[in-house]
């Protein structure tokens, strides 16, 4: 599929059928994340993949919700919990020298690769920035001593509809300045 078509097809899915997602597909989409670019090739990410069919699923479906938000996660069939790790030495030196911090950008690039790869395979995803972090960590077996922050959770599943909604986006003239 042409990349622009794929970008148009990808959308936040908030209606999943509840059918399981094949392990192989999850591995493929995580591979797309692994191959993402990052500042100084730091790769400051770690993915915990809660796969379909396990006993963690019900706990994870609840942990992905918070204060009445993300109720649709109750029908997702897999979750990718994304941690932002400490960047490598070069990226940290860059931060000190130039006062620029790239690891959140790096995470975003990896996550976009993942959701695009999922869309190409007919899977629905929703990137979640809101979730019950303590429950997410508990669900994937991390103790309280693990101080790492869960950056994002990606809900994955089989979408009820494969027809994309029209995108609500700012107009081209608002977001781009073309110069010669």
Ligand X SMILES: Cc1cc2nc3c(=O)[nH]c(=O)nc-3n(C[C@H](O)[C@H](O)[C@H](O)COP(=O)(O)O)c2cc1C
| Residues making contact with ligand X (CB under 6 A) | 11-12, 14, 70, 126-130, 152, 167
Beta strand 150-157 with 45-50 is: unpaired
- As a whole number of angstroms, the longest Cα–Cα distance in the chain is 58
Nearer to ligand X, 167 or 180 (CB): 167
- Closest of 88, 92, 69 to residue 153, by C-alpha: 69
CB of 179 to ligand X, least distance (A): 28
CB of 149 to ligand X, least distance (A): 13
Helices (H) and strands (E) in the chain, counts: 7, 4
139 close to 56: Cβ distance less than 8 angstroms: yes
Beta strand 45-50 with 78-84 is: antiparallel
Alpha carbon of 39 to those of 44, 64, 93: distances in Å? 9, 29, 11
Nearer to ligand X, 25 or 109 (CB): 109
Alpha carbon distance 114, 116 (integer Å): 5
CB of 110 to ligand X, least distance (A): 12
**Nearest residue to the partner ligand X, using Cβ:** 129
CB of 12 to ligand X, least distance (A): 3
Nearer to ligand X, 81 or 94 (CB): 81
Nearer to ligand X, 40 or 127 (CB): 127
CB of 86 to ligand X, least distance (A): 20
- Closest of 99, 111, 115 to residue 37, by C-alpha: 111
Nearer to ligand X, 12 or 90 (CB): 12
């Amino acid at each position: 599929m042409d990349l622009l078509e794929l970008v148009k097809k990808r959308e936040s899915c908030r209606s999943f059928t509840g059918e399981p997602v094949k392990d192989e597909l999850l591995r493929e989409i995580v591979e797309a994340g692994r191959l993402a670019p990052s500042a100084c090739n730091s790769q400051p990410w770690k993915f915990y993949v809660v796969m379909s069919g396990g006993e963690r699923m019900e706990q994870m479906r609840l942990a992905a919700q918070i204060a009445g938000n993300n109720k649709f996660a109750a029908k997702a069939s897999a979750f990718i919990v994304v941690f932002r790790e400490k960047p490598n030495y070069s990226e940290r030196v860059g931060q000190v020298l130039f006062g620029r911090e790239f690891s959140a950008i790096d995470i975003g690039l990896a996550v976009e690769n993942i959701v695009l790869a999922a869309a190409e395979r007919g899977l629905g995803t929703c990137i979640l920035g809101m979730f019950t972090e303590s429950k997410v960590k508990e669900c994937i077996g991390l103790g309280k001593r693990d101080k790492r922050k869960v950056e994002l959770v990606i809900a994955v599943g089989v979408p009820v509809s494969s027809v994309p909604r029209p995108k609500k986006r700012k107009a081209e003239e608002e977001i781009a300045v073309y110069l010669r």
